[in-house]
Structure 1
Amino acid sequence: MPTVVDLFCGAGGLSCGFERAGFAVLAGCDVDRTFGETFVNNHDGARFFHGPVSQFRDGVLLRELDLRPGELDVLAGGPPCQAYSVYNHSRGMADPRSRLFEDYLRIVKDLKPKWLVMENVTGILSIEKGQLVERIKQAIRDIGYRQVEHFVLKAEKYGVPQERRRVVFIANRINQPVSEPAPTCRGADEFVNIWDAIGDLPPMHPDSRVDEAVPYACEPMTEFQLEMRGNRTLVRSHKSPRLGKINQERLKYIPEGGSWRNIPFDLLPAGMKKAKRSDHTKRYGRPKKTDLSCTILTKCDIHWGAYIHPIQNRPFSVREAARIQSFPDSFVFSGSMTEQFVQIGNAVPPRLAFALATHILPTLATESIAA
């Protein structure tokens, strides 16, 4: 069975997709213990290493996992992206978090995996007018990975029901060409929309905090729902952030496809009373059932994005956010509701990871290590 190790693993979205493709997940590494609890609870037999990746270079992972250099099939991971995000106005190589790339590559040099998969936000493309990306690729080549490319992948093209863009570096040292994974959706008419993803989940009162497993609202109506449910008859983590009375009142005025512009002026937040009607197009957004979701972030805050349920006056629940990220309903998130949303928003969508894994998998049967 092919093997994968997931650095900066978070809850394990990358690992989830690779596991579904037939890989054995050997281990994950992250600085957050709660993420680690989620990771080990959802990946049978996988080990979790707690701490910064700098602690696991110099052969530490080889010894801990009883591996020889070159034996691991794939080293995957997404170094934290805040240093490169367009939302971080001081982003760049001066940010100490950018050194995580260097630590990551030192571990690559130790393990010498056959394949390397490294994910980040699109903001990385604009740093140093694109030169940072080229320097990263050259650094990967310098440690023996002659085949290396980067791609901007659109998650919705791989069956993920949201607009999400990520830069993925793919490299190998087994003389295989590197190409972009083929989309599983050939056009917009094949995209999975919001209702395709969450339409079978039960209604919920805006103030509900129940964390018990509850029955589905109906039989699965789409292939996506069937895949997410598996053989489950009850769904867990279907709970939503509580809204204050003023926000509950605002939501009554927002139709499907609407936003803050539909809220009566006297009910608007003070800052938005001064906003232009053309600004903040996603704030207090209620997407249509037939829409793709906007990008799931680390909290479904209706003040910042279109995270209002299409027909219920509440934000998306934890399980709905997980569905929109393409996590199966069997995936259980540890920690508080806030921590669960962070884990979901930070993750690589498992369906996107599955596409990456299945793209790599055929090459492992015909490997030929470069000299």
Structure 2
Amino acid sequence: MTSAAPHQSILDKPFVLDLFAGPGGLDVAGHALDIPSLGIEWDKSACLTRYAAGLDTLHADVSAVRRSAFESLPPEINVLAGGPPCQTYSVAGHGAGRKNLNKVKEYIERLTAGESDEAIDEDLKTLSDPRTALVLEPLRYAIQATRSPNREKRPYDVIVLEQVPAVEELWHHYAKVLQGTGLPDGTKYKVVVGLLDTETYGVPQKRSRAVLIARREELDAPSLPVPTHRSYGAKEWNRRNEDDQAATGQAHQPTLDEGTAPETEERRETGDKDLQPWRSMGDVLADPVGTHPGRATPFLVRSNYGSSGIPGRRGVRSDRQPAFTVTGRISRFVVFQHLDANIVYEGARFSMNEAGMLQSFPPDYPWSGKAQSQQVGNAVPPLFGAHLLSAALGLPQLDPDALREPWQPATEEQRAKLRSQGCGAADACTDMCPRPEDQAPPRSTARPRKSDKNNSKTSE
């Protein structure tokens, strides 16, 4: 890691285009830094959240905007940012993207060599999961900017990308071509790539992200954001009575001393003394703020993830530790609280407000529409996003308390105006919006269904 960023932005007027913008994590970061942004998002519910939050939004397919509406984007946009959908690269998915890494690298080479969009699009149809190709969209936007008459063919000054750790290899390939070959018009960038842990930036959650920060060659070289908090090393869950639960299939009942071993607490007092202790779930959830009533401590959280076919073999953490990675299953995490020193009971599961706060969203962020857990899990943690933008633009690090104030939602008039701009109507989607049936992910062929396995066994 390099030294802290200077206190003067490298750009006079930063303006962010946020691809795959989700419910607004990076835009909330920009808001806290006083940087305007425009998000493109195709999920209707995520757009409803964004409108309710007062965020400028296009309800659209990122690829479709690039192909047919790029010239309508504000020409003053000079920062390209985004986190392409991760399902095909995530270890939680079927892995179509991971299996096609070399093929995707070839597409990166072909794009920077100036091959036509039509030829690339035709070949992309051969991918088993078309979402795999979405990781190419930031590069395609960067190239399109250099061809845009509305922009006077001016390239983006800064590019900021983040994704699951499995995409780090592709970000390194991005860096190789952006620094070496450059874009087809000759524009080159200075690039830094790294794998960062969000708890080292004050997010009360253990989450690793592969990031890329690029600046045009004429600008100073970028650096990764400097950590502000100590890293967290997870303690293995003490799987007591494991033999019994393996035999009976009964889930282990947690006790209050689990997840709070002495070495966990010592971790907060050791390491780099210049860094703050990592932030725990209790740090952000215990006290009342806004409409959040506060959550009584101590409490334990058991994740929804099992292993080896044993439902009870799941991680347990206490309120004195960072949260597990917040995913679309956050509403299934079981929260235990105490009656006395030896008895625990199941308490209320995390509300969407609490789940958002564990992602570092401000309290009372207006989660709207359907699949709110998935929205929360898919979002960029705003505090982490603020560190990325600050490092990319040479701005001072954001005070974490800036995101502790309750979010002020948009008025009905503001929301209607935003939706008119984003959907084409004040209270409805229009033909310009992606169709709901187009938003359903394709059925993956990378992993056979159970019935397929049975059929294949029968035929052998």
Aligned partner of residue 342 in structure 1, secondary structure: helix
Contact 1:193/1:292 (8 A) holds in 2 = yes
Tell me the CA shift for residue 11 of structure 1. 0.2
Q: Which of 229, 233, 252 is the matching residue for 1:185? A: 229
Q: Does 1:308 align with 2:335?
A: yes
User: What aligned pairs does 1:171-320 form with structure 2 within 5 A after superposition?
Assistant: 171-173=214-216, 174-186=218-230, 189=268, 190-201=277-288, 214=291, 216-217=293-294, 256=299, 275=310, 280-282=313-315, 285=316, 287-302=317-332, 307-308=334-335, 310=337, 313-320=347-354
Q: Normalising to structure 1: TM-score of the pair?
A: 0.69
Q: Does 1:340 align with 2:372?
A: yes
Aligned partner of residue 394 in structure 2, secondary structure: helix
Aligned partner of residue 200 in structure 2, secondary structure: helix
Q: Does 1:328 align with 2:362?
A: yes
Taking the aligned partners of 2:197 and 2:307, their CA distance within structure 1 comes to 31
2:368 alignment partner AA: S
Taking the aligned partners of 1:158 and 1:182, their CA distance within structure 2 comes to 8
Taking the aligned partners of 2:361 and 2:331, their CA distance within structure 1 comes to 20
Match of 1:206 in 2: none
2:228 alignment partner AA: T
Looking at CA atoms only, which structure, 1 or 2, has the larger radius of gyration? 2
After superposition, the C-alpha distances for 1:54-96 in whole angstroms (9 at most, x for unaligned) are: 11125733x32331xxx42311110000111122343322432
Unaligned runs of 5+ in 2: 1-12, 101-126, 146-154, 232-266, 269-276, 339-345, 397-460
Q: 1:273 to 1:165 in 2, by over 3 A?
A: closer
After superposition, the C-alpha distances for 1:108-139 in whole angstroms (9 at most, x for unaligned) are: 222322111111101224xxxx4x44333334
After superposition, the C-alpha distances for 1:190-249 in whole angstroms (9 at most, x for unaligned) are: 1111111100249xxxxxxxxxx856359xxxxxxxxxxxxxxxxxxxxxxxxxxxxxxx
2:314 alignment partner AA: T
Contact 1:2/1:22 (8 A) holds in 2 = no
Taking the aligned partners of 1:133 and 1:114, their CA distance within structure 2 comes to 18
Contact 1:149/1:171 (8 A) holds in 2 = yes
Q: 1:276 to 1:181 in 2, by over 3 A?
A: same
Tell me the CA shift for residue 275 of structure 1. 3.1
Q: 1:37 to 1:137 in 2, by over 3 A?
A: same
User: What aligned pairs does 1:1-371 form with structure 2 within 5 A after superposition?
Assistant: 1-25=13-37, 27-44=38-55, 46=56, 48-58=57-67, 60-61=69-70, 63-67=71-75, 71-92=76-97, 93=100, 94=127, 95-111=129-145, 112-125=155-168, 130=169, 132-141=170-179, 142-143=182-183, 144-173=187-216, 174-186=218-230, 189=268, 190-201=277-288, 214=291, 216-217=293-294, 256=299, 275=310, 280-282=313-315, 285=316, 287-302=317-332, 307-308=334-335, 310=337, 313-336=347-370, 339-362=371-394
Taking the aligned partners of 1:346 and 1:258, their CA distance within structure 2 comes to 20
Aligned partner of residue 19 in structure 1, secondary structure: helix
Taking the aligned partners of 1:330 and 1:353, their CA distance within structure 2 comes to 19
Aligned partner of residue 57 in structure 1, secondary structure: helix
> How many residues of Structure 1 are paired with residues of Structure 2 in the alignment?
287
Unaligned runs of 5+ in 1: 203-212, 219-254, 261-270, 365-371
Contact 2:335/2:347 (8 A) holds in 1 = yes
1:40 alignment partner AA: Y
Contact 1:59/1:110 (8 A) holds in 2 = no
* Percentage of pairs with the same residue: 30
Taking the aligned partners of 2:292 and 2:209, their CA distance within structure 1 comes to 34
Q: 1:59 to 1:113 in 2, by over 3 A?
A: farther
Tell me the CA shift for residue 42 of structure 1. 1.8
Taking the aligned partners of 2:322 and 2:358, their CA distance within structure 1 comes to 9
Tell me the CA shift for residue 357 of structure 1. 1.7
Aligned partner of residue 295 in structure 1, secondary structure: coil
Q: Normalising to structure 2: TM-score of the pair?
A: 0.56
Taking the aligned partners of 2:389 and 2:29, their CA distance within structure 1 comes to 7
After superposition, the C-alpha distances for 1:309-352 in whole angstroms (9 at most, x for unaligned) are: 5556232111111110010014211114xx21111110010000
Over the aligned positions, Cα root-mean-square deviation in angstroms equals: 3.1
Contact 1:176/1:363 (8 A) holds in 2 = no
1:291 alignment partner AA: Q
1:148 alignment partner AA: V
Aligned partner of residue 315 in structure 1, secondary structure: coil
2:63 alignment partner AA: S
